[in-house]
A and B are shown apart, each in its own frame.
Chain A
Amino acid sequence: MSKKLKEVLANAGISMDLQSGGAAPEKMVDREVKREPHPRIKKLKDIFMDTLSSANNEFTYWYTREYMMHDCEIPVVRRAMALKSAFSHSTPAIYPGELLVMHKASYFRGSFPMPWLSEGFYMAHEDEFYKEALKRGSASVDEHSKFGQGGGNVTKSFGKVISIAGKFGMRQEEIPALLKLAKMWYGKSVDDLGNKYEKMVPEYKTKEQIMRSIICMFDSGFTLPQGREIINYYYPLEYGFDGIIKIAKELKDKVAGKADGDGMVGMNRLYNYEAIILVIEGMQKWINNYAKEAHRLEKITQDEKQKEEYKSIAERLEWIEHNPPRTFIEAFQMIETLHIGVLNEDAISGMSPGRIGLVLYPYFEQDIEAGRLTEDEAIELLEQDRIVKTSIDCFASTGVVGGVLSGNTFNTVSVGGLDREGQSAVNRLEYLILEASANNAMPQSTIALLYDEKLPEDFLMLAMEVIKCGTGYPAFMNTVIAQEFLMKQYCKEGMNLEDVRSWAIGGCLETSPSVWELLHLNGKEYWIPGGAGQPTSVGVHFLSMPKVLELVLFNGIDPRTKEKVYEPHNSKLETYEELWKQFKLYWQITCQVLTWTNNIQHDVWRKNNMAILNSLMKPDCLDKGHLINELGYRYNGTFSIESAGTITMVNSLAALKKIVYDDKSETLDTIKDAILDNFGFKDASEVNSFSLADQERKNNDAGKWEKLHFEVLQAPKYGNDDKFADNILLEWEEFFCEDATHYESLYGLNMYPCQISVSTHGAMGSATLATADGRLSGTTFADASMSAFPGTDRNGPYALLNSASIWDHAQSQNSQLNIKIHPTAIRGIEGSKKLLALTRAYMRKGGFHIQYNIVDSKVLAAAQKNPENYRDLMVRVAGFTQYWVEIGKAVQDELIARTEYEGV
């Protein structure tokens, strides 16, 4: 039997089952804290657990039918008409027991295709559209992405159900319509039009090669054009839908025919207000259809209690269809409706509700005081909200939804943080949000705790309890660091200290700009926060640093595809400085060409596919009459350059520096040969697995690379408070954080660095050869941006924190550190205190983000063997929590292999 990588690593002192700071008990240990939701919620959750991700064409059909009718209409009005028709025709689906209603499509976990963005990926592989997408590189990553085989994913067709993009189930009866609709968008979608014009960028060929080599994970302009931002519920809460229409009509009268000094887009305000009115009317009709359905169900239902509930649902919907909400449940229904509405407007991942504990507090406070609501009832609603959010699917390609997102949609709720005056913003409702998130542990909404020294101790201890449920949330984000970053990035757009404090996390861990707005409720005033910035999911998506380094070593040629990606540098790389310089040059070429091509895609998006609903809710669109595409948002400098594989690259550079350049014990050519030969191991595709644990030595391997492999594995590694490796990270961060600000988005504003990995470390790893740190070809990179490579952080958690905080995190939108801890290491109150102390230590050192997987690795291994017994097991991947069974095997293996801390 061939020797496995696991044994080779063990011989080099790197354990893939590393237990740091003690030994785990032999028996499998469950998580310490386990809670249950209310019985009604449990019933709905049971339905969710057995629900398949399902799609139909209803929204797609009505959107397309209306859009195609209005050929010569002004684009924003044409889109609004299409959206109005689609919302108005969405079939309501209400399920018994629901208190909060309305769904994306008429399924419990429904979604629908948006061929106006991109149509190629759900065509059959033989189809010419798909082939074309493959040629462009936009489908390459699909080939390297896998969904988990269980849970709600429809990975294979069966019976009358067809699997689309490896995730969504669609009824056979709908398929001809899907293909017909898709073909209607051929040449018109953002993908196709964007491609037509991006080809005009002289360096376009390089872009194509970059995509095909999977140096970049995906285009941002047509895959998920919006997201990783904070929604803003303020205007509908303050004015109601009728109120917004009234404002828009008054302003429409005021601006009609007037440029008001703006010869470029001043006149557009008229059309924009018209579009706003149309979309709101569509929303109202959608709500009204649900109200009618609730009345219908009230009539046919025998159960008296359920009958009464349907009646209340109908009345609530009829009220919010026109008016601002008056109570907690009305406000909750309103924000739920808006949230789903925005997600139906565009393909979005990471539309985060933000600080709903502050947004809903006015209603909560007044209802509690008036005796209209109990805390228990509020918790029940918050528990249901978790089902609503977890049921949200985003219909996009396998590469995007599977390879990058692991099916997650990042509807992150933020708690904690500061109020407008700079004091702790924690209120009673935020405690209940945490309670509900423990009672009903589900992936969504993932919770971000905006840490500040001023937050109450009992709130932080409650957060530790929630973490101990094994939810992977709350994650801790550092307010001080975020505020510094926001000031730096947005002061030129007028951000002040008060608004800085309204920030929240959009998506998994994206620091996002927000503002305070004054809400009036029964004569009382409340400052509530909400998003005021463009999506932060936009710009250059996930650049594989290890792959760029590979291209440097191989003179611009991708050894996997044998294609030339960059112009050969022809440098002999005789010094470390030369190697580093060349890496930076290739990196910059990549950032530049992708900025230009993505700018074109986004420009096409903003011309034909602009946000209207999301826009009208964000300051200052309604007031200014300009939507997102005309810089209507308060903050527009949100485009970023995203890195991936940081630590794998840092470790690789450390090995090269030490072995080739400092000690000169091996030549660079020898290391390159070893990389090409995968250190004597079989190719991952031969093993038929991209997972770390499964890699095997070649059958005929005579141990040619054994010594060298041992040597590179022994080279300094990040995560041990070892300056040799950590200084390489520091040098990278100083370069990257500054360099990213040199690229300009289509809005004429500078970009910034973003450092999240989501699941890209799996898919990108699968397209990358072995690396100089000893990692094998095709296997995962280290996750996140600050996590150590599994098994290489041997000096305990505090050493890891020191390594991670060697650079100034405020220079970047984020950074990401994940730690796995055995449940016994943090048992009881004392354990919670230790975990809080560890978290605080990192925040005080200037770390931006930390989160924990509290799980026995043996449980994960058992779940991989018998997934049917672990349908509800959740894990933290990289910035998000997901059901174990819904993530791909490569990332599962990486999670099992992560160092497990037995003591903190």
Chain B
Amino acid sequence: MENLLYRDARNYVPIDVTKGIDHLTGQIVMADKEAPNGYEVMPKCKNCKNFKDDGELMGICESSMSNPKFFAYPDMVAVTCEMYSNKL
């Protein structure tokens, strides 16, 4: 499996759209650089069992209560989503 990008890693906190801080090392790192092996995955919609991919950076949130079901997008951080269910 490919290494995670920092921006997909749990212990990365973004400073801005290009960079952030690796909480494990305290260093400023680039968002699109690979994180070291073994870094924990950030909960995001794309990693959620309830996410149904529609392609084009879009999808459906299967746990949505609305009719039709509300959309979701793969890159959204989901640490605060109570319905997040890790599929990895």
Contacts and interface: CB of A to CB of B under 8 A. Distances in A.
Given A58-B76, A89-B81, A297-B23, A106 B14 contact: yes
Contacts of A94: 13
Interface in A736-750: none
Contacts of A301: 23
Contact of B73 (A92, A177, A300): A177
Contacts of A161: 17-18
Nearest to A87: B80
B18 A52 contact: yes
A176 B57 contact: yes
A262 interface: no
Contacts of A794: none
Contact of B24 (A106, A108, A300): A300
Interface string B44-78: 00000000000011100000111000110111110
A61 interface: yes
Contacts of A65: 64, 66, 70
A175 B76 CA distance: 12
Interface string A57-99: 1100100010011000000000000000000111111111000
Interface residues on A, range: 35 or more
A54 B32 contact: no
Contact of B15 (A90, A95, A159): A95
The listed residue with most A CB atoms (<10 A of its CB), out of B18, B26, B74, is: B18
A171 interface: yes
B18 A177 contact: no
Contacts of B15: 47, 51, 95, 107-108
A152 B16 CA distance: 10
A69 B65 CA distance: 8
A92 B23 CA distance: 13
B21 to A, nearest CB: 6
A444 B74 CA distance: 36
A51 B21 CA distance: 12
Interface string B7-44: 00001011111100101101010001000000000000
B41 to A, nearest CB: 15
A805 B15 CA distance: 47
The listed residue with most A CB atoms (<10 A of its CB), out of B21, B57, B66, B76, is: B76
Contacts of A107: 14-17
Contacts of A61: 73, 76
A334 B35 CA distance: 35
Contacts of A300: 11, 23-24
Contacts of B79: 91-92, 289
B75 A52 contact: no
Given A52-B18, A61-B76, A68-B66, A176 B24 contact: no
Given A61-B76, A180-B71, A95 B24 contact: no
Interface residues of B, number: 29
Interface of B is mostly: loop
Contacts of A52: 16-18
A90 B18 contact: no
A107 B17 CA distance: 8
Nearest to A162: B17
Contacts of A68: 66, 70
Given A106-B77, A177-B57, A54 B16 contact: yes
Contact of B80 (A54, A88, A176): A88
B26 to A, nearest CB: 6
Interface in A775-825: none
A591 interface: no
A109 interface: yes
A303 B16 contact: no
Interface in A31-52: 47, 51-52
Contact of A177 (B32, B76, B81): B76
Contacts of B28: 47
B66 to A, nearest CB: 5
Contact of A58 (B26, B64, B77): B77
Contacts of A772: none
A95 B21 contact: yes
A455 to B, nearest CB: 40
Contact of B57 (A54, A88, A173, A289): A173
A524 interface: no
B21 A96 contact: yes
A171 B5 CA distance: 14
A701 interface: no
Given A96-B21, A173-B57, A177-B58, A109 B80 contact: no
A27 interface: no
A174 interface: yes
A88 B80 CA distance: 7
Contacts of B11: 300
B26 A93 contact: no
Contacts of A109: 16
A161 B31 CA distance: 11
Contact of B17 (A92, A171, A176, A297): A171
Nearest to A152: B16
Interface in A293-311: 297, 300-301, 303
Contacts of B70: 65, 68-69
A108 B74 CA distance: 22
A137 interface: no
B23 to A, nearest CB: 6
A91 B32 CA distance: 20
A179 B10 CA distance: 27
A325 to B, nearest CB: 25
Contacts of A53: 16
A186 to B, nearest CB: 16
Contacts of B17: 52, 54, 107, 154, 160-161, 169-171
Given A177-B57, A180-B58, A69 B66 contact: yes
A297 to B, nearest CB: 6
A174 B23 contact: no
B56 A176 contact: yes
A106 B73 CA distance: 17
A179 to B, nearest CB: 10
B16 A93 contact: no
A57 B76 contact: yes
A96 B23 CA distance: 8
27 contacts: A47-B15, A51-B15, A53-B16, A54-B16, A54-B17, A57-B76, A61-B76, A68-B66, A69-B66, A69-B70, A88-B80, A89-B80, A90-B80, A96-B21, A96-B23, A106-B77, A107-B17, A108-B15, A108-B16, A161-B18, A171-B75, A173-B57, A176-B73, A177-B57, A180-B71, A297-B23, A300-B24
Shortest beta-carbon contacts, A-B, top 8:
A173-B75, A177-B73, A52-B16, A54-B16, A169-B17, A54-B17, A89-B80, A176-B57
